[in-house]
Amino acid sequence: MIIKNLYIIIQINMGCSCLKNDLKLNELNITEENTKEENIKEEKNINFPNTKVIYKPEKIITNTILNCSENTILKSRVISPIENKQQEVNIIKNNNSNNSMNEIKKESNYLSKNIFNKRVFEIINKIRMNPIAYSQFIVENIKNISIENCEETNEKTGMKEVKQVIIFKKKVKVKLFKGEDEFIEAAKLLTKMSPMEPLQFNEDIIMPIPDSFEVMNDIDFIKNKIIKSNINIFFKSNIKNPEIAVLLMIVDDNESSEKKKRNAILNKEFKYIGIDSKFINNKFVSYFTFSK
């Protein structure tokens, strides 16, 4: 356990972009058109094209409620050892299903309290179960990329300069690093990916968002939570629209070439996810945590 903790600390000190860079609220230079909480609304469901490549889990691990089959009455007859063994297996499966249903109920109760958390969780799992279908959604959003003139202050001279910047604008306005090339690269990557198991929501690994930016930027606060909760990856986002937030996490267009947000969401080894989000002084903040 000590060795594992040291590994996490070393990873943080080496400049993990998912921790260090994401502490900066303006990492993506986000300019939102509105910051009122009532403006967080569900967009239309993402249009996933029909495809035959869909992951079919053997057990219930998503927040979809399934109907349990009715118990059947066995006729009086001699049951062979093989049939008896099969009945034992069925009983175990039914028990597991009941346990899974309880987890689903608990999961739904927590997520139902926050529209953003619930919607983001659903979208991420749709992508994991059908990455090929989501690639089309990425391509469709290339039309929302444009070049704009932006006035910026030169750090060396202190003078204001007008520069051309790449912008993604759809309900929110976000500055990109490469733009269209990164969208195409992400779409191609997803077309080559196989379906994977959906993530399970785990309240135990949620990184609670502090009530002030001062505490939020406290590196030690985050380190301690990561170590205590056995968190493998942590990052943050400031985009309040669920669909756009996840889209830009998957594209992951920033100066770093490590793509740690995308790699976390699409990591087959990760089993659990924690999400927290809220407004602080009219600014939206969300935390994402992942573990195996």
pLDDT 10s digits, 19-50: 333 333 333 333 343 434 444 444 445 555 54
Give the residues across from 235 on adjacent strands.
288
Residue 106's pLDDT is 54
Say which residue the tokens 């690994």 belong to: 205
Q: Which residues pair with 170 in a beta bridge?
A: 172
Please work out, in degrees rounded to the nearest 5, the angle formed at the alpha carbon of residue 174 by the alpha carbons of 168 and 180.
Answer: 35
Alpha carbon distances (Å) from 193 to 71, 130, 132, 265:
39, 9, 7, 13
pLDDT of residue 196: 97
What the block records as the tokens of 260 is 């740690």
pTM: 0.65
What is the distance between the alpha carbons of residues 258 and 77, in angstroms, rounded to a whole number?
63
Q: How confident is the model at residue 72 (pLDDT cuts 50, 70, 90)?
A: very low
Instruction: Write the CB contacts of 276 (distance below 8 Å, at least 6 apart in sequence).
Output: 117, 206, 207, 208, 209, 286, 287
Task: Report pLDDT digits (tens) over 199-256.
Answer: 999 999 999 998 888 878 788 888 888 888 899 999 999 999 999 999 999 999 988 8
Mean of pLDDT values over 259-276? 96
